[in-house]
Structure 1
């Protein structure tokens, strides 16, 4: 997916990346113009939730690339609908099966968190349940069914602390990656970048063919239940990153301007959510030009802070929308199925 040298904040190949500060003191985060980052919160002994999943990552994908991807997915959907009109079948499959291979990495230090096979399996159950609507009874299940293929455990300190795109990161994935593009490889380590621990990062599907061995998602062990990423340690990072792996952008993509995240049924959002304010409205509806005093005001549209593709706390995130389901399935059909 990525050229040999990468800039985590500006690379046009854009891994889905989220980060947290594990060190004391404020941390300067570089962000695109359409994103605003809350003041960092120190983790060390504070008992307060991590400030944020980190600087927005997906705006690093250029507008041209986003529009090209949208056109390719629209073409896939158009072809599927035309076929459905001829055959009477549904345009999109009701179910998609994705095999999952989990690669657990252990460091050499006593303080390094070592995830067991049981812990990895529990993370998988969180992933599968989230896509089936287990965290929100009103969510329509996506029909994307994950099946656990295997769990491996490797002991390698460089891999455990590898930063995204580093020589150690590439070595790890080239050594461990199995399967073609339709197989989800998940790596569990304690990745870092520029001194910051990262909650996780992912490769977008339209880039999987460029560097197939580097495809997959990487999850920080501290985001699993019991981890140190306060506010983000219930296990939902793997859900968020797998959404990227299936082609979803952040809900705050592009701020308040259309087309935003290219999903029609997610409300526009001016900036990431770093907590769980369900009344927040960063894109207030503008009054029409012919509005007169005394007329009813437009209904506010709250930000989608409970969507898995925002940066809210794990306890807040609980659903995908039908439109996101359509985009994920179209993305899988276009870039991963049969490849």
Structure 2
């Protein structure tokens, strides 16, 4: 009997170890920017260039942005293990979100928390059906869906701003951010459980691309003060320089890379200006 109990404990420990290994990379399922997304970025980049913004300055002005947001917890049962998480865990995630964007002069105001038990939705099996039922607010209101399993086994994904998203349209309904439950503070993904997946995905929602978008090209992620990057980072590779012929080392500490949560330190000044541009030119007006 004792041997059987010992065997069970060993198997449980092994299962836990395997789960940790399975999350050895970030895994963002946000689609690449479309030609329309890129055109919008070019418009903003031209405006930024014309205004002669000094991205090396830490005193770049951008009007305060206040974003109302809704949290939607979707679980397969009322058990925490199945995604039915408590307000304490959600509160810690909200604190991280607010702290990460505060230096960008962006404030978040929570409107409501909803909880839904639906096994199909909880495994990301009907994104549009789920969002059609749960989505709240206007196009500039952020809807965050927290699920125990996401498509492609990713940690999160988001939608970029579009030029026009009429209420009731597919673009309007789909709009928002999805994150895996285990990426919240205290989740089981040991390298990605400080809440920074949501920060990364909200960056997409506000118009930012991955820092490695475009690779070692002059265009890159279309933000002038983020150095070119050939591919995503893993872990926290200090000193990494994947585009040695171009200025600057890889921005491994930037929220829009794929580094571990503990490696992240913030957004760039250029990204701050770009998010404000997307907000005022499209999200707020649509």
Category of TM-score, reference length = shorter chain: 0.7 to 0.9
Which of 170, 175, 186 pairs up with 1:215? 175
Match of 1:203 in 2: 159
Compute the displacement of 1:227 (Å).
Answer: 1.8
Tell me if structure 2 keeps the 8 A contact 1:43–1:230.
no
Please give the secondary structure, in 2, of the residue aligned with 1:205.
coil
Alpha-carbon distance between aligned partners in 1 of 2:82 and 2:180, rounded to the nearest angstrom: 12
Q: Deviations over 1:299-331 (max 9, x none)?
A: x73210000000000000120011000000000
Q: Deviations over 1:59-95 (max 9, x none)?
A: x334x4354112332476699x6xxxxxxxxx96420
Tell me if structure 1 keeps the 8 A contact 2:144–2:176.
yes
Closer, same or farther in 2 for the Cα pair 1:43/1:278, shift >3 Å?
A: farther
Tell me if structure 2 keeps the 8 A contact 1:48–1:230.
no
Match of 2:65 in 1: 96
Q: Runs (4+) of structure 1 moved beyond 6 Å?
A: none
Compute the displacement of 1:228 (Å).
Answer: 2.3
Gaps of 5+ in 2: 1-13, 52-59
Compute the displacement of 1:212 (Å).
Answer: 0.4
Alpha-carbon distance between aligned partners in 1 of 2:253 and 2:262, rounded to the nearest angstrom: 9
Tell me if structure 1 keeps the 8 A contact 2:123–2:149.
yes
Q: Deviations over 1:238-266 (max 9, x none)?
A: 00000000000000001111110010111
Alpha-carbon distance between aligned partners in 1 of 2:37 and 2:70, rounded to the nearest angstrom: 28
Alpha-carbon distance between aligned partners in 1 of 2:26 and 2:17, rounded to the nearest angstrom: 19
1:52 and 2:34 correspond: no
After superposition, where does 1:251-270 map in structure 2 within 5 Å?
251-270=211-230
1:325 and 2:272 correspond: yes
Compute the displacement of 1:48 (Å).
Answer: 4.5
Tell me if structure 2 keeps the 8 A contact 1:76–1:330.
no
The root-mean-square deviation of aligned C-alpha atoms, in Å, is: 2.7
Compute the displacement of 1:109 (Å).
Answer: 7.5
Which of 93, 103, 106 pairs up with 1:144? 106
Gaps of 5+ in 1: 1-41, 82-90, 133-140, 287-299
The count of aligned residue pairs is 261
Alpha-carbon distance between aligned partners in 1 of 2:124 and 2:200, rounded to the nearest angstrom: 21
Alpha-carbon distance between aligned partners in 2 of 1:306 and 1:97, rounded to the nearest angstrom: 25
Alpha-carbon distance between aligned partners in 2 of 1:205 and 1:66, rounded to the nearest angstrom: 8
Which of 223, 240, 255 pairs up with 1:280? 240
Alpha-carbon distance between aligned partners in 2 of 1:234 and 1:208, rounded to the nearest angstrom: 34
After superposition, where does 1:98-137 map in structure 2 within 5 Å?
98-108=67-77, 110=79, 111-132=81-102
Tell me if structure 2 keeps the 8 A contact 1:76–1:334.
no
Match of 2:121 in 1: 159
Match of 2:4 in 1: none
The alignment's TM-score, normalised by the length of structure 2, stands at 0.82
Alpha-carbon distance between aligned partners in 2 of 1:226 and 1:208, rounded to the nearest angstrom: 38
Closer, same or farther in 2 for the Cα pair 1:123/1:338, shift >3 Å?
A: same
Alpha-carbon distance between aligned partners in 2 of 1:181 and 1:65, rounded to the nearest angstrom: 18
Alpha-carbon distance between aligned partners in 1 of 2:227 and 2:29, rounded to the nearest angstrom: 18
Compute the displacement of 1:267 (Å).
Answer: 1.0
Greater helix fraction, Structure 1 or Structure 2 = 2
1:71 and 2:59 correspond: no
Compute the displacement of 1:208 (Å).
Answer: 6.6
